[in-house]
Amino acid sequence: MSLDKATVAKVANLARIKVEEKDLDHLADELNNILGWIEQLGEVDTDDVEPMTSVADMQMRWRADQVTDGGYAGEVVVNAPSGEDGFFSVPKVIE
Amino acid sequence: MTDLTKLTVSAALDGMAAGDFSARELTAAHITAMEASNVLNAFITKTPEIAVEAATASDARRAKGEAGLMDGIPIAMKDLFCTEGVLTTAASHILDGFTPKYESTVSGNLWAEGAVMLGKANLDEFAMGSSNETSFYGNVINPWRRTGDDHAMVPGGSSGGSASSVASFSAMAATGTDTGGSIRQPASFAGIVGMKPTYGRCSRWGIVAFASSLDQAGPMTRSVRDSAIMLQAMAGFDPKDSTSVDMPVPDFQAALSGDIRGLRIGIPKEYQLDGMKPEIQALWDQGIDWMKAAGADIIDISLPNTKYALPAYYIIAPAEASSNLARYDGVRFGLRVEGEDLNDMYASTRAEGFGDEVKRRLLIGTYALSAGYYDAYYLKAQKVRTRIADDFKQAFQDVDAILTPTAPSAAFGFGEKSDDPLAMYLNDVFTVPGSLAGLPGISVPAGLSADGLPLGLQVLAKPFDEETLFKVAGVLETAADFTATPDDWWRG
């Protein structure tokens, strides 16, 4: 599989990273180089092999369904570039 | 009086217990050393005021007989750990000005045991790198140089500032985090001990996330005993991290018996790479001889899928990163670059806020998780990961620990590999397989390269068997008797 410019642009959009048109070729080359190297994974027989989703051999814990934390909206938003009255603010979304 | 910065953590604890010097004196000596090593750029933020205050409190505790495990020991905190009220950057422009209102569990554990924070250590941006050339706050310099050459060397990465501060005697110890080798490889490059615990041993809560199924915090120190002491203070169950394992933390120092007679040490044949540097092979052979001389049994083992660890890692880690780093969107913290609309604001913020290597990995990760490619890349890599972990499980039926080199080379110069991502990724060829399997690993300085740079050997052990890991590492340390230190050219 080889990435063309249009695919790189699409992936960049999915990743929400603005990429200038002039940088797409170079980026496609770099990504293809890495993905080409990754292709060797195809050599490994993984039929009937379960994908590893957790490295620790443990059962996920349960906890009581209770509120244990909260009540400090002011602290949560204190690092926001823009916010007021305990809310994050963003550019207008709905006209 | 002896130079307090040259002591190990354990010697400093003994010295303070005996009343030879105070935590304030110890901290003052390190603040002076830290200020004199500015050229190394090991710190993003220095916190001398916090250090003096903590050292004063430490002396008061010790006077009352209430000293903790690390009481009065000045350390560097990798700037990936959230520290309450202190700028936390992950070495990224996108976290500009971020000052957490909370403390990471591991740093909190260290403060509860009396450790003193000198400052926040520089690193590769979001811990993505093996040379500390990707930090928004500039390169970290390795205090070590080639013999007769004043070209600057990389300290390794991503915990490069941590390694540099400990190797330059600016900090007695430092925290690191290891995703694919980010503690062990810089430890090898800087001639210090770097230890990655079993996945789940230390809480990840409050550590800026890179790849959540791999990230682990660990100690970086100048001796194996110091490593055991510091891990004791860092480790433990934390209900706030769902992958933290609820099991007792053993007494790690007690494991340092110096006796490995009858222990079975595995030597994986697949780690003998084509074109491996003769001095790396020679160091490894030397390590095997040391193990034999100490009475261990050397057993040849096979880890057949070793070669696929790096390519699997470079799907899994970027995929997880693309998800974890989605939170940096200019809304909740750090940098915001205004745009035409909300989407444009997101994309512009992330374009300006992330460096090239981070962007590269986010794009790879996004692609690997995207519709149509998920099975071919991500699912395949997860299956290969299972096979790699199975290889280790199989091997550990016959051996108690595994000995390998830590890195395929000594430290290199700036710019020598930064133009070629693949050449850079190969730095972690010996550390990544153990990371994928969640195993504990440690790098111990074991010798010098032909041009005078430190080289490390790595020990891997079974999950949650850090005791055997420390025991073997202690014997390795004694046999290697690595006493070389860098010339202190950096002191201003």
Which tens digits make up the pLDDT trace of B299-332? 999 999 999 999 999 999 999 999 999 999 999 9
Q: What is the mean pLDDT of residues A70-93?
A: 90
Q: What is the mean pLDDT of residues B155-170?
A: 98
Catalytic residue selected from B158, B165, B170, B418 = B158
Q: What is the pLDDT of residue B492?
A: 63
Residue from A82, A18, A80, A12 nearest B352 by CA: A18
* % of chain B exceeding 90 in pLDDT: 96
Q: What is the pLDDT of residue A53?
A: 87
Would you call B182 a catalytic residue per the annotation? yes
- Chain B residues within 8 A of A69 when measuring between CB atoms: none
Q: What is the pLDDT of residue B118?
A: 98
On whether any CB of chain B is under 8 Å from the CB of A73, the answer is no
Contact: A27, B381; criterion CB under 8 Å: no
| Residue range B41-89, pLDDT digits in tens | 999 999 999 999 999 999 999 999 999 999 999 999 999 999 999 999 9
Would you call B58 a catalytic residue per the annotation? no
Nearest CA in chain B to A20: B351
Q: Which residues contact B299 (CB under 8 A, 6 or more apart)?
A: B264, B265, B266, B267, B398, B399
Contact: B315, A41; criterion CB under 8 Å: yes
Mean pLDDT of all residues in chain B? 97
On whether any CB of chain B is under 8 Å from the CB of A80, the answer is yes
Q: Give the pLDDT band (50/70/90) at residue B1.
A: low
Cα–Cα distance for residue pair B368/B93, rounded to 1 Å: 25
Contact: A1, B360; criterion CB under 8 Å: no
| Residue range B241-284, pLDDT digits in tens | 999 999 999 999 999 999 999 999 999 999 998 888 999 999 99
* % of chain B exceeding 70 in pLDDT: 100
ipTM: 0.95
| Size of chain B in residues | 492
Would you call B359 a catalytic residue per the annotation? no
Q: What is the pLDDT of residue B471?
A: 98
Contact: A40, B422; criterion CB under 8 Å: no
pLDDT greater than 70 at residue A1: no
pLDDT greater than 90 at residue A62: no
| Residue range B104-148, pLDDT digits in tens | 999 999 999 999 999 999 999 999 999 999 999 999 999 999 999
Query: Widest CA span of chain B, in angstroms?
Result: 70
Choose the closest CB to A18 out of B311, B333, B348: B348
Write the secondary structure of chain B as one string of H (helix), E (strand) and C (coil): CCCHHHCCHHHHHHHHHCCCCCHHHHHHHHHHHHHCCHHHCCEEEECHHHHHHHHHHHHHHHHCCCCCCCCCCEEEEECCECECCECCCCCCHHHCCCCCCCCCHHHHHHHHCCCEEEEEECCCHHHCCCCCCCCCCCCCCCCCCCCCCCCCECCCCCCHHHHHHHHCCCCCEEEEEECCCCCHHHHHHHCCEEEECCCCCCCCCCECCCCCCCCEEEEEECCHHHHHHHHHHHCCCCCCCCCCCCCCCCCCHHHCCCCCCCCEEEEEHHHCCCCCCHHHHHHHHHHHHHHHHCCCEEEEECCCCHHHHHHHHHHHHHHHHHHHHHHCCCCCCCCCCCCCCHHHHHHHHHHHHCCHHHHHHHHHHHHHHCCCCHHHHHHHHHHHHHHHHHHHHHHCCCCCEEEEECCCCCCCECCCCCCCHHHHHHHHCCCHHHHHCCCCEEEEEEEECCCCCEEEEEEEECCCCHHHHHHHHHHHHHHHCCCCCCCCCCCC
Residue from A20, A51, A17 nearest B330 by CA: A17
Contact: B311, A38; criterion CB under 8 Å: yes
Contact: B380, A42; criterion CB under 8 Å: yes
Cα–Cα distance for residue pair A35/B447, rounded to 1 Å: 36
Q: Tell me the two tokens of residue B302.
A: 């096979």
Q: Which residues contact B210 (CB under 8 A, 6 or more apart)?
A: B126, B127, B128, B177, B179, B317, B320, B321, B324
On whether any CB of chain B is under 8 Å from the CB of A43, the answer is yes
> The whole model's pTM is what?
0.97
| Residue range A6-56, pLDDT digits in tens | 999 999 999 999 999 999 999 999 999 999 999 999 999 999 999 998 887
pLDDT greater than 80 at residue B162: yes
Nearest CA in chain B to A16: B347
Q: What is the pLDDT of residue A40?
A: 96
Q: Give the pLDDT band (50/70/90) at residue A2.
A: confident
- Chain A residues within 8 A of B384 when measuring between CB atoms: 41, 44, 46
